[in-house]
């Protein structure tokens, strides 16, 4: 979800188990975090990377203003490249692809031009509508990809069309030009599953729609457009690139528990092999009936004071 919509949370606390050891990174002391499996057992970032070997797509769900989450995302990208990408120097090397919710599909050409060195970074930033926290939180990912010639996918639906779907309904998107429709999932896009719709309604305080940031309308149909478009962007990468390993970064609501974008992906690519990693602050509010770690992902990374990286 957009940076300004991190309020999609409920009021009950997730009670966390403890247990940790110290770790250092190449850039200094690691931030406080713990890693758990879906069964609630202590794990590690290395175990997440090992599990990537059986996946085509790794969904990494974040809280957008969580600095420790962004640190973990960069470590996972670096490690995936070292183990599975060209850096592994093996015959079975995979094409590691970075996919981002934080850029919209209609700026893909600008992003590609920057990665190829055709335009300056200042021009890239002026033309690509980066999020306000790009410099601190997402630039390290893009710069790593640029330095190692990794594709970066601007995966999200343009916000102007998301706004239209929220105000006028998804059928209104049919009136767009063929060029505009290129930036969206094929119409009509699938609506949210019953489980996702129920989660969305709980997060919205029992309503299917409500005002979003700055008074813009926000609805389940608009959310589904984002999810479907990101899923379609990923599916296109899997279709056009052999042995791709896509690391997709999005707000945790979009992918936790395999709901949202992962569900839509299966509609575009049946049998896609996915891994869901959810990164949450230790104090993040969760639904009271969340069902523990299994409702969050294959791995859960918990950040916050009192933890250190396993």
Residue 89: its pLDDT value, please? 74
309 within domain boundaries: no
Whether the CB-CB separation of 20 and 213 falls below 8 Å is answered with no
Stretch 249-275: mean pLDDT? 97
Is 128 domain-assigned? yes
Q: Kindly tell me the sign of the dihedral angle through the C-alpha atoms of 218, 222, 227, 232.
A: negative
Mean of pLDDT values over 63-71: 95
Burial profile 157-189: b = 16 or more Cβ within 10 angstroms, e = fewer:
bbeebbbbbbeeebeebeebeeeeeebbbeeeb
Residues of the domain holding 38: 3-10+19-303
Domain assignment present for 65: yes
Percent of the chain with pLDDT over 70: 83
pLDDT > 60? residue 276: yes
What percent of the chain is predicted at pLDDT more than 90?
75
Residue 266 above 90 pLDDT?
yes
The residue written with tokens 């999609």 in the block is 8
Query: Which neighbouring-strand residues pair with 302?
Result: 34, 280
Residue 255 lies in a domain: yes
CATH code at position 273: 3.40.50.11550
Total domain count for the chain? 1
Lowest mean pLDDT among 69-73, 108-112, 287-291: 287-291
pLDDT (0 to 100) of residue 49: 98
Please state the rounded mean pLDDT for residues 139-152. 98
The three state secondary structure string of 256-285 is: HHHCCHHHHHHHHCCCCCEEEEEEEECCCE
**310 lies in some domain:** no
Mean pLDDT of all residues in 37-56? 96
What are 183-219's pLDDT values in tens digits? 999 999 999 999 999 999 998 886 555 544 434 567 9
Name the residue with higher pLDDT: 293 or 196: 196
CB-based contact 133:2 (threshold 8 Å):
no
- Residue 185 has a pLDDT of 98
Confidence of residue 304 (pLDDT cuts 50, 70, 90): confident
CB 14 within 8 A of CB 291: no
Among the listed residues 10, 76, 58, 8, the one whose alpha carbon sits nearest the alpha carbon of residue 253: 8
Residue 88: Cβ within 10 Å count: 15
pTM recorded for the entire structure: 0.86
Confidence of residue 283 (pLDDT cuts 50, 70, 90): confident
Would 172 be classed as within a structural domain?
yes
Within a domain: 260: yes
| Structure confidence at residue 230 as a pLDDT band (50, 70, 90) | very high
Residue 308 lies in a domain: no
């Amino acid at each position: 979800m957009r940076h300004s919509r991190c309020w999609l949370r409920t009021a009950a606390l997730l009670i966390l188990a403890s247990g940790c050891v110290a770790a250092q990174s190449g850039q200094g002391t690691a931030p406080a975090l713990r890693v758990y499996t879906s069964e609630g057992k202590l794990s590690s970032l290395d175990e997440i990377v090992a599990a990537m070997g059986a996946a085509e797509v790794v969904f990494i769900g974040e809280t957008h203003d969580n600095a420790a989450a962004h640190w973990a995302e960069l470590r996972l990208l670096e490690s995936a490249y070292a183990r599975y990408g060209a850096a592994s120097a093996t015959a079975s090397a995979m094409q590691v692809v970075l996919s981002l919710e934080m850029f919209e599909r209609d700026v893909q050409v600008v992003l590609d031009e920057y990665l190829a060195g055709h335009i300056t970074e200042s021009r890239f930033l002026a033309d690509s509508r980066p999020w306000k926290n790009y410099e601190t939180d997402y630039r390290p990912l893009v710069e790593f990809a640029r330095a190692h010639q990794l594709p970066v996918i601007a995966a999200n639906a343009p916000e102007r069309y998301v706004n239209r779907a929220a105000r006028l309904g998804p059928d209104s998107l049919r009136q767009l030009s063929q060029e505009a429709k290129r930036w969206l999932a094929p119409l009509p896009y699938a609506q949210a599953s019953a489980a996702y719709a129920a989660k969305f309604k709980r997060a919205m305080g029992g309503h299917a729609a409500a005002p979003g940031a700055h008074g813009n309308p926000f609805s389940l149909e608009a959310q589904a457009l984002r999810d479907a478009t990101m899923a379609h962007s990923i599916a296109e990468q899997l279709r056009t690139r052999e042995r791709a390993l896509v690391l997709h970064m999005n707000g945790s609501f979009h992918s936790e528990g395999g709901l949202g974008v992962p569900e839509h992906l299966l509609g575009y690519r049946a049998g896609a092999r996915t891994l869901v990693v959810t990164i949450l602050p230790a104090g993040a509010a969760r639904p009271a009936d969340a069902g523990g770690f299994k409702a969050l992902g294959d791995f859960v990374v918990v950040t916050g004071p009192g933890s250190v990286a396993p």
